[in-house]
Amino acid sequence: MLDQSPVSEGSNGAEALRNTLDLARLADELGYHRYWVAEHHGTPMLASASPEVLIGPIASATERIRVGSGGVMLPHYSPRKVAESFSMLSGLYGERIDLGLGRAAGTDPMTTYALQRERRVPAADDFPEQLAELLAYLEDRPPSDRRFAGLAPLPAAPAAPEPWLLGSSPQSAIWAGQLGLPYAFADFIHPGKGEIAQFYRESFEHGQRLPEPRVAVCVAAICADTDEEAEELALSGRMSRSMMNRGRLIPVPPVETARRYFAAKGPSAAPAGRRAVIGSPDTVRAGLEEVAREYGADEVMVVTITYSHEARRRSYELIAEAFGHSGEIHRAGSAPGAVGSAVAQGSLTRAAP
């Protein structure tokens, strides 16, 4: 699961963050495999601005599920600081911590500028160098910048997170492959790009960090008891995206507000260029399996935006049930068959391209 901590109209960011903790506990009970929190800045729609702050409380509130960042937007930070933060998280929560890393700003240019420590000049576009330096710290190797070769080990060494590279472009896939890192592709941003996962496999350096390439694909999805109910729930997120495309950022609106908006604006208001898997449990399972085949994905990660927190909880419950998992199954001791980021690993592992 990828959680962006959506803020509903009439609510606030503090409640959205509490909802994130509640949803993480549910994910752990249902048998989901990973729970990642996003990094977004400067929007009233999403409250998750600092994944490293959320990961600790989530890991404390759960027992089994892997917890990580989806992701840390590395250009905003010192690689050393990120390495230290995730070293501490790994020291506290062992092998459950993932460090998903991204290159995007996750916000508008002015907010990006406000996040910079050095404001006399634009931030350098040196993501590959940042990433190499961060990996060196995590692996207890001297970075290429010899000035830092004598730094002390990370605070919780040898504990370390599992690094992932996030992306939605061919360049990110090539970097992930060359570095031998697992790769998570954002289909919910750039849909239908299975060929990019193939770029990753073709450039993959076997044995550098992983024996084989590993692909996760993140998909927008909403599940309800019927296809019609799910389509209704999806109106809220669609209105938010439509308004964003028009230069206006808003919290997630109620379904009724979104219904009136689209009735007044007509088909031209529907946001284009995004894909979502929306429907009943059978519809969503089939849709997620289709996306997994398209990317040859080992895991599918689901991101869900609804106005109602209860509807979001119910969506994830229905997806887990669709893949043969429930809280009762998890408590009975079947964790090895955990839902692989919304796709049951027992039924969909190493999906064929």
Q: Do 242 and 271 meet the contact criterion of CB atoms below 8 Å apart?
A: yes
* Percentage of the residues of the chain whose pLDDT score is greater than 70: 92
pLDDT at 120: 83
Tell me the average pLDDT across 135-157. Answer: 94
pLDDT band at 347 (very low <50, low <70, confident <90, very high): very low
The domain ranges of the chain are: 2-344
Q: Do 65 and 33 meet the contact criterion of CB atoms below 8 Å apart?
A: yes
Render pLDDT for 254-263 as a digit per residue (tens, 0 to 9): 999 999 999 9
* Percentage of the residues of the chain whose pLDDT score is greater than 90: 80
pLDDT band at 341 (very low <50, low <70, confident <90, very high): very low
**Which residues 6+ apart lie within 8 Å of 127 measured at CB?**
74, 75, 103
Q: Which amino acid is at 255?
A: V
Query: Quick check: 345 pLDDT over 60?
Result: no
Tell me the average pLDDT across 152-162. Answer: 96
For residues 229 and 278, what is the distance between their CA atoms, to the nearest angstrom?
9
Tell me the average pLDDT across 312-337. Answer: 70
pLDDT band at 334 (very low <50, low <70, confident <90, very high): very low
Cβ of 231: how many Cβ atoms within 10 Å? 15
For residues 48 and 46, what is the distance between their CA atoms, to the nearest angstrom?
6
pLDDT at 327: 52
> Which pair of tokens denotes residue 158?
């040898």
User: 3-state class of 40 per DSSP?
Assistant: coil
- The pTM assigned to this predicted structure is 0.90
User: 3-state class of 184 per DSSP?
Assistant: strand
Q: Which amino acid is at 28?
A: D
Cβ of 25: how many Cβ atoms within 10 Å? 16
User: What CATH class is the domain 2-344?
Assistant: alpha beta
